[in-house]
Amino acid sequence: MKESIDRRDFIRMGALAGAGTVLAQMTGCNSLTPGGPKNVRTMMGVGSQPKDLIKVGYVGIGHQGSSHVRNLLKIEGCQLAAVCDIRPERTDWASKETVKAGQPEPKVYTGDDYAFIRMCQEEDLDLVYNAAPWRWHAPICLAAMKNGKHAASEVNIALSVDECWELVETSEKTAKHCILMENCCYDPTEMLVMNMIRKGLFGEIMYGECGYLHDLRALKLSPDFYQGMWRLMQSVKRNGNLYPTHGIGPMAWCMDINRGDALDTIVSMSTKSLGLNEYAKEHYPESEWVNTKFALGDVNICLIKTKKGKVIICKHDTNLPRPYSRDFVVQGTKGLMHKYPIQQIHIEGLSPAHNWEDLSKYQEEFEHPVWKSLKEKAQGATHGGMDYVEDYRLIQALRQGIAPDIDVYDSVIWSVIIPLSEESVRLGGKPVKFPDFTRGAWQQPRELGIVTHLY
């Protein structure tokens, strides 16, 4: 993996050095990259042709995919035009739900692993959205963009550095969006804190903690929950932070990552692995998993430093007994907050000296206007309504022809933590550099769409 990272960095650094310049602002649909490779467009701030109706093809209609299908069928201006899954019973379910919602019956693609390619080639779609197993996320997005469709994927969007680069380069070449559907960015608490940061209550942000801390032993070892037990297979062969985006996505929004700052260096360490074996021994004593050698350490810790000197701890903890948490700690020069186990905050000059306050005290004044406007529509949707908000925001951005909240550069820099953390673990905790997928454009400050477009 290190050779692959160095090779790509060398090519891009050589192109920039030859031009003798640092990249400046890269906004606008057809702008060339100053000093960079010829005919490369940025997708920062790029819109699309406005359309009243967004036709969606959905791939992977399992546990999470079915939730998104339900959301899309409720969103004005969205038509589920095609559905794809290797299991005919899942496409049958989606077809019935679509007709029940008053839409035309969608075209069905099923029967083999590559049915999504035929769908991308044959159907007149605006967006291909997928919640397939992880290893298919990047291939589905690439097939969509190469066939003239925008692409959206459940987390994570890629599993290797090379996949991340291919997504960026394909998005730029085709001028099609490639979007990671990171629902935790739209959590009401995270959005409340982000709004408070924008209004200056925290001062300059210096430090954050985040992660994905969720006891998944029962789900990973269940033969029925993850189709083909694909998530368990990742634990068999990979050792690092395998699910960073739920934590790093909201943290990146709070810290202006790719909007004036950038992730620079990562150090990663994992504990040994015992949790899955012990759980299998107790609940599946006759199974092969009792003695399987799992690569994934039970707890992984990543220490990340940004270009401008901020520090982030990002954790992955899914193989041991514990209550759910994403940690989410944000600290600045004027105050700090933490979300778990209870939501507390301290703002200098507002909070009692050396004491915490309940974050709810600030709810009414600083609730994010996007969440406030959508929470009624989001009622009943999965993950406390976050899934509906992310789906709604994407469809409305495409309908209006404006840039989505999350672009391809966000999508890959959040996901590349997976292979970089694996590399650092393999090297005994040595620092590993982040690739610069923006080719220097992160230096240009720009606001989030969630701030500038309050639809």
What's the token pair of residue 43?
Answer: 């997708």
Specify the pLDDT at position 192.
98
Specify the pLDDT at position 166.
98
Give strand pairing partners of 317.
213, 299
Q: Are strands 78-85 and 107-110 parallel, antiparallel or unpaired?
A: parallel
CA atoms within 13 Å, Cβ hemisphere of 126 = 20
Specify the pLDDT at position 454.
83
3-state secondary structure the chain: CHHHHHHHHHHHHHHHHHHCCCCCCCCCCCCECCCCCCCCECCCCCCCCCCCCEEEEEECCCHHHHHHHHHHCCCCCEEEEEEEECCHHHHHHHHHHHHHCCCCCCEEEECCCCHHHHHHHHCCCCEEEECCCHHHHHHHHHHHHHCCCEEEECCCCCCCHHHHHHHHHHHHHHCCCEEECCHHHHCHHHHHHHHHHHCCCCCCEEEEEEEEECCCHHHHHCCCCCHHHHHHHHHHHCCCCCCCHHHHHHHHHHCCECCCECEEEEEEEECCCCHHHHHHHHHCCCCHHHCCCCCCCCEEEEEEEECCCCEEEEEEECCCCCCCECCCEEEECCEEEECCCCCEEEECCCCCCCCCEEHHHHHHHHCCHHHHHHHHHHCCCCHHHHHHHHHHHHHHHHHHCCCCCCCHHHHHHHHCHHHHHHHHHHCCCCCEECCCCCCCHHHCCCCCHHHHCCC
Query: Could you read off the pLDDT of 17-46 as tens digits, one per residue?
Result: 333 222 323 333 332 233 334 455 899 999
Specify the pLDDT at position 2.
39
Q: Is 248 left (phi over 0), alpha (psi -120 to 50) or beta?
A: alpha
Specify the pLDDT at position 21.
27
Intervals of the chain under pLDDT 70: 1-40
Specify the pLDDT at position 119.
98
pTM for the complete prediction? 0.91
* Spatial separation of the C-alpha atoms in residues 32 and 342, rounded to whole Å: 48
Report the candidate in 62, 407, 80, 89 with the shortest Cα–Cα distance to residue 252: 407
Specify the pLDDT at position 434.
98
* Spatial separation of the C-alpha atoms in residues 242 and 232, rounded to whole Å: 11
Q: Which residues of 328-366 are buried (b: 16+ CB within 10 A; e: fewer)?
A: bbbbbebbbbbbbeebbbbbeeeeeeeeebebeebeeeb
Give strand pairing partners of 344.
338, 358
